[in-house]
Amino acid sequence: MIRYMLTHRTEVATLVFEHIWLVGISMLLAVAIGVPLGILLTRRPRLSPAVLGSTNIIQTIPSLALFGFLLPAPWLGERADRIAITALTLYALLPIVRNTFVGIRGVDPAVREAAEAMGLTRNQVLFRVELPLAASVVLAGIRTATVISVGIATIAAAIGAGGLGEFIFRGLAMVNNSLILTGAVPAAVLALAADLGLGFAESRWRTPRV
């Protein structure tokens, strides 16, 4: 496997890069959608069963099937990477929306009330008090989402979106274990690195507790 990786290092590097790109873009999208959505739910708690329920349902769709479902979609279906990014974004939504919602709801009501009573506007309460206090929980959600995405992104190769799954599917077809490992090991390393990096960020944001 090592020998294979060395001889094919340009290809390995390209696919690792592709993999990071797929995961990175989808995570950016998922955060951009999921965090505001989570905040919205804290303002309109009645929406929360519907929103959390549907993100939950998305989570239960097998990834290969979701990639397949998206194939005939109008603009998305034209390019495999668009499908992959859409699917990964959808999968990442649940942990991010849920943790944003739970994190903000978990802020001590007395602290929120003190902020309001001091004459902070709604946005000031959100950005100066609620989000900083919820940050470690929100980051934990992003971390979970990222680790899951790194794994699911390997399946994106099945629809031709590239990434480390290429090696895995090629290895499966050729019954070549070292080829499979050439895809699987870097993917696992990526997942671990994301987990560690975001875990570190999370601990730095953890607020001092009484």
Partner 1 sequence: MHDHQQNSTPADRAVIEFRKVDYRTADGKSIISDLNLSVAQGETFVLLGQSGSGKTTALKLINRLLSETSGTVQVDGRPTSDWELVALRRRIGYVIQEGGLFPHFTVEKNVGLIPRLLGKLPDEVNHRVDEMLQLVDLDPASFRSRYPHQLSGGQRQRVGVARALAGDPPILLMDEPFGALDPVVRAELQRQFKALQQKLRKTVVLVTHDVPEALRLGTRIGLLESGSLVGCYPRSEFVASTDPRVKQYRDAFAE
Distance of CA 123 to the CA centre of its chain: 26
- Of 20-28, 90-98, 142-150, 202-210: span binding partner 1 (CB under 8 A): 202-210
| Region near partner 1 per CB under 8 A, out of 24-32, 35-43, 108-116, 149-157 | 108-116
3 binds partner 1 (CB under 8 A): no
Beta carbon of residue 132, minimum distance to partner 1 (angstroms, whole number): 5
Cα angle 67-73-78, degrees, rounded to a multiple of 5: 85
Of 115, 126, 139, 150, the one binding partner 1 by CB under 8 A = 115
- Tokens found for residue 140: 């934990």
Query: What is the DSSP code string of 110-169?
Result: HHHHHHHHTT--HHHIIIIIIHHHHHHHHHHHHHHHHHHHHHHHGGGGGGT--STHHHHH
Residue 110 interacts with partner 1 (CB under 8 A): yes or no: yes
Q: Is residue 120 close enough to count as binding partner 1 by CB under 8 A?
A: yes
Told to check if 129 binds partner 1 by CB under 8 A, we report yes
> What's the Rg (C-alpha) of the chain?
20
Q: Which residues bind partner 1 (CB under 8 A)?
A: 108, 110-111, 113-121, 124, 128-129, 132-133, 207-210
